[in-house]
Structure 1
Amino acid sequence: MDRVAEILAEAAAEVVEPRFRALATGEVLEKAPGEVVTIADREAEAIIERRLRELLPIPVVGEEAVAADPSLARALHSEPAVWLVDPVDGTSNFVAGRPEYAVMCSLVRTGQTVASWIWQPATATAYRAELGAGAWRDDVRLTRAPAPADAGKLTGILKSRFLDPDHHRRLEANSSAFGEVSPGRSAAGIEYPDVVEGRFDFILYWRTLPWDHAPGSLLLTEAGGVAARLDGRPYRPEAPGGEDGLLVAADPATWELTRAVLMGD
C-alpha cells in the first residue's frame, strides 16, 4: 500500500507539479470534443505504469492508453487482476491553473476494486483504502459520520453534463428539495474525499469511467458510505461505454433518501 502511494507522489513531483500553471504552447491537446489532455497526463501515466508493473506485473488500464486504444479496457473483464490509473484527474482544472486535481490508482481483482489510492498534490494529501481494512487520510483512519435525516439539510453535487434533456430537467427540478446542490469540483479525486470528510452528503454522477470512480468509491464505502447504481447494486468498475448513473452518499439512509427525492419516488 505504501509503495503505490509513493509511486503516485513521485510521478506527480517529476512531471505533473512542475507544469502546474506552467504549461507551454502545444502541451495541451483536445483528445475528444470538450476534453483535453496534457503532456503531464501522458508522461505521468507512463511513469506510473512502468513502476506499477515492477511492483505487480499485471495489465495496466490507464486513461490515456485507453483513449488511444479502447480495447485495452477489456482487461477489466478478461484478466484476473488489473491496475487502473488516472494520471491527472481533473485535467480541466489543471489546465486552468486550479489546484483541484489528483493522481489516482486502483487495484481491481475479478471485477472488484480491492485497493485504491488518491494523491492530491496541491495539499500533499494521500488517501488510500483497502477492501475490508478501512479508509485513510495520511495516517488518520476515516469514518464518515451520518448525514442529516432531513433532505432540506443535505448538501450534494449533481453532475449534469452527460444527462439527456429529460433526465436533466427532472433531476434539476427534484434537487430543489435539498439544502444545497452544486455542479461539483470537476475532479472525482477531490469530490469523493469531500463526501468522506463531510463537506458533501451525496453526489449523483452519470458517466462513470472506471479510473474516475474505482478509487473514490472504495474510499467512501470503506469509510461507511455507499456507492451504488440507481437500482441499488454496489458499484463495480466497468469499461467505458457501460452503464450510466451512480449515486454516492454518506450512509445507507442518505443514499435511500437522496435516490427517492431525485427520482421522484
Structure 2
Amino acid sequence: MWIDTVSDILHEAAATAILPRYRSLADGEVMEKTSGEVVTVADREAEELITRRLRSVLDAPVVGEETTAADPGLITALRDAPAAWLVDPLDGTANFIAGRPEYAVMAALIRNGQAVASWIVQPAEGRTYVAEKGSGAWRDGIRIHRPPAPADPADMRGAALTRFLDPAAKARVQAATSRFAALGPGAKCAGVDYPRLADGVQDFLLYQRTLPWDHAPGALLLTEAGGVAHRPDETAYRPTDAERGLLAAADAHSWRTVHAILMQR
C-alpha cells in the first residue's frame, strides 16, 4: 500500500499549488463554483497535479471534488470500479481564502466501495495523518489510539456543522448545547475535525451532508484509531452510501450517548 508515496504526492501538491497562495491569493484566483460554494486556482491546480501522480501509482479512476463538480457522473466509479482514488485537493477552502490555517489536502483509495487507505495533510500545521484498513492510523509516523470519551456528556466536547441540518435537527442541536462541555461548529473542515477527534481534542462530530471526498479519509482514520463513524440508523459509514447524516464519536458508548441527545426525535 503506497502510504509514503501518496503522502509525498499530497505534500508536493501543497508545496506547488497551495502554500504559495496561502494568504496571498491574487485577484481573480477565487471563483464561485455553485451558489454559496467557492473554489480557488489552488484547488484546481492541486487536483490536477494529484490526479496525474496518483494515476502513475495505480491506474484507476480519480474522483476529485473539482472534476466531479464539472462531471457529476464520475462519482459512480466509487461504486462501479474495482478500485478508485478519491481526492479533496483543498478541504476547508473558505478557511484558506480567509487566511486561516484550518485546511487540508486529502485522498483515499476505494476498493469495492470501501476506503482501504486514506491520507490527510495539513500544510499550514505541518501534520500528516494516514490510515490503512485493518492496520491502524498514524500521525507523523506515530500510531494513534483514540482513548474513550468521558462517560458524562457534560464532560464531552464536540462539533456539529448545522449549515445543512433541517430546522428540527438544528433546533435539537441548539437545545442540547448546554448539555455538553463544548458544542460548536468545529473547524468547518473535515480534514481538521476528524484528526482532532482521533487525537482526543474532540469527542464527537455531527454532519448532515456527507460528500465522499470530505468524509472517507477522516472516517477511516477515526475507525482505525478505535473510534466509530455511523449513520443515524447505526450502520457503518461507507463512501458509496446515498444516505445523509453521520455521527462520528470516540467509541461506541459515546456514540450512543450523543445519538440519543442529538439525533433521536
Superposed CA offset, 1:182-215 (max 9, x none)? 1111110000000011110000011000000000
Superposed CA offset, 1:195-243 (max 9, x none)? 011110000011000000000000000000000101111000037xx32
Shift of 1:176: 2.9
Using the aligned pairs only, state the percent identity.
59
Residue in 1 that maps onto 2:194: 192
Residue in 2 that maps onto 1:124: 126
3-state secondary structure, aligned to 1:103: strand
**1:157 maps onto 2:148 in alignment:** no
- 1:82 partner amino acid: A
- 1:250 partner amino acid: A
Matches within 5 A, 1:33-72: 33-72=35-74
Residue in 2 that maps onto 1:221: 223
Residue in 2 that maps onto 1:256: 256
Matches within 5 A, 1:7-156: 7-156=9-158
Shift of 1:166: 1.8
Shift of 1:264: 4.4
3-state secondary structure, aligned to 2:163: coil
Structure 2: 5+ residue runs without aligned partners? none
Count of aligned pairs: 263
Give 4+ residue runs of structure 1 displaced > 4 Å after superposition. Answer: none
Structure 1: 5+ residue runs without aligned partners? none
Q: Provide the rounded CA distance (Å) in 1 between the counterparts of 2:13 and 2:39.
A: 16
Q: Provide the rounded CA distance (Å) in 2 between the counterparts of 1:27 and 1:236.
A: 34
Q: Does structure 2 retain, via aligned residues, the 8 Å contact 1:175–1:262?
A: no
Q: Provide the rounded CA distance (Å) in 2 between the counterparts of 1:212 and 1:238.
A: 13
Q: Provide the rounded CA distance (Å) in 1 between the counterparts of 2:71 and 2:213.
A: 15
Q: Provide the rounded CA distance (Å) in 1 between the counterparts of 2:143 and 2:71.
A: 38
Shift of 1:107: 0.2
Superposed CA offset, 1:23-66 (max 9, x none)? 11110001011110000000000000000000000000000000
**1:205 maps onto 2:207 in alignment:** yes
Q: Does structure 1 retain, via aligned residues, the 8 Å contact 2:232–2:263?
A: no
Superposed CA offset, 1:80-139 (max 9, x none)? 110000000000000011111000000000000000000000121110000000000011
3-state secondary structure, aligned to 2:176: helix
Q: Does structure 1 retain, via aligned residues, the 8 Å contact 2:169–2:263?
A: no
Superposed CA offset, 1:124-173 (max 9, x none)? 11100000000000110000011110011111001100011122112321
3-state secondary structure, aligned to 2:202: coil
CA RMSD of aligned residues (A): 1.0
Q: Provide the rounded CA distance (Å) in 2 between the counterparts of 1:264 and 1:134.
A: 32
Q: Does structure 2 retain, via aligned residues, the 8 Å contact 1:49–1:60?
A: yes
Residue in 2 that maps onto 1:179: 181
